[in-house]
Amino acid sequence: MKALILVGGFGTRLRPLTFSCPKPCVEFCNKPIVCHQIEALAKVGVTEIVLAINYQPEMMRESIEKYAREYGVNIICSQETTPLGTAGPLALAKDILTRDNPEGSFFVLNSDIICDYPFQEMIDFHRAHGKEGTLVVFPVPDPSRYGVIVTNEANEILSFVEKPKEFISNKINAGLYLLKTSMIDRIEPKPTSIEREIFPVMAADRQLCAVTLKSFWMDIGIPKDYLAGTELYLAHLAKKNSQELIHGSKFAGNVMIDPTAEIEEGCIIGPNVCIGPNCKVKSGTRISNSVILAGTEINSHSWINGSIIGWKNKIGRWVRIEGLSVFGEDVVVKDEVFLNATIILPHKEIKDSEFAAGKILL
Ligand code: GTP
Ligand 1 centroid to Cα of residue 357, in Å, is: 30
CATH code of the domain occupying 223-361 = 2.160.10.10
What is the DSSP track for 235-249?
Answer: HHHHHTT-TTS--ST
Pocket test for ligand 1, best of 4, 5, 7 (most atoms within 8 A of CB): 7
Ligand 1 contact via 8 beta carbon (within 6 Å): yes
Enclosing H/E stretch for 58 = helix 57-71
How many angstroms separate the most distant Cα atoms in the chain? Answer: 63
List of residues 6+ apart from 239 with CB closer than 8 A: none
Give yes or no for residue 360 having a pLDDT over 90: no
Cα–Cα distance measured from residue 16 to residue 20, given in angstroms and rounded to the nearest whole number: 8
Closest approach atom of ligand 1 to CA 110: 18
pLDDT at residue number 357: 62
CA distance 87 to 196: 10
The 10s digit of each residue's pLDDT in 87-136 is 999 999 999 999 987 779 999 999 999 999 999 999 999 999 999 999 99
- Round to whole Å and give the CA distance between 252 and 76: 41
Give the residue, by CA position, lying nearest to ligand 1 atom 19: 9
Ligand 1 contact, 11 CB (< 6 A): yes
pLDDT at 2 over 70: yes
What is d(CA 267, CA 148) in angstroms, rounded to the nearest whole number? 45
Task: Tell me the average pLDDT across 80-87.
Answer: 90
pLDDT tens, position by position, 315-326: 999 999 999 999
Q: What are the residues facing 292 on neighbouring strands? A: 275, 309
Element (H, E) at 292: strand 291-292
Question: Parallel, antiparallel, or unpaired: how do β-strands 308-309 and 291-292 relate?
Answer: parallel
112, 114, 177: which to mutate for ligand 1, most atoms within 8 A of CB?
A: 112
pLDDT tier at 356 (50, 70, 90 boundaries)?
Answer: low
Task: Please state the domain extents for the chain.
Answer: 2-219, 223-361
Helix, strand and coil percent figures for the chain, each rounded to 5? 25, 30, 45
Side-chain half-sphere exposure of 146, counting CA atoms within 13 A: 21
CATH topology classification for 2-219:
Spore Coat Polysaccharide Biosynthesis Protein SpsA; Chain A (3.90.550)
Mutate to test the pocket of ligand 1, among 6, 33, 53 (most ligand atoms within 8 A of CB): 6
Query: What are all long-range contacts of 75-82, with beta carbons under 8 Å and residues at least 24 apart?
Result: 75/38, 75/49, 75/51, 76/48, 76/49, 76/50, 76/51, 77/50, 77/51, 77/53, 78/4, 78/50, 78/51, 78/52, 78/53, 79/53, 79/54, 80/8, 80/52, 80/53, 80/54, 82/191
Q: Are 290 and 308 in contact (CB under 8 A)?
A: yes
Instruction: Out of 64-73, 219-228, 309-318, 351-360, pick the least confident.
Output: 351-360
List the beta bridge partners of residue 85. Answer: 192
Q: How far apart are the first and last CA of the chain?
A: 45
pLDDT digits 0-9 by tens, 156-182: 999 988 777 888 888 999 999 999 999
Would you give the distance in Å from CA 71 to the centre of its chain? Answer: 19
Closest residue by Cα to atom 15, ligand 1, is 110
Q: Is 163 known to be catalytic?
A: yes
| 313 CB near ligand 1 (under 6 Å) | no
Note the pTM of the prediction, 2 decimals: 0.91
Ordered alpha helix ranges (H), 220-333: 223-239
Q: Cα 360 to chain center, whole Å? A: 23
Q: With a 6 A CB cut-off, is 223 part of the ligand 1 pocket?
A: no
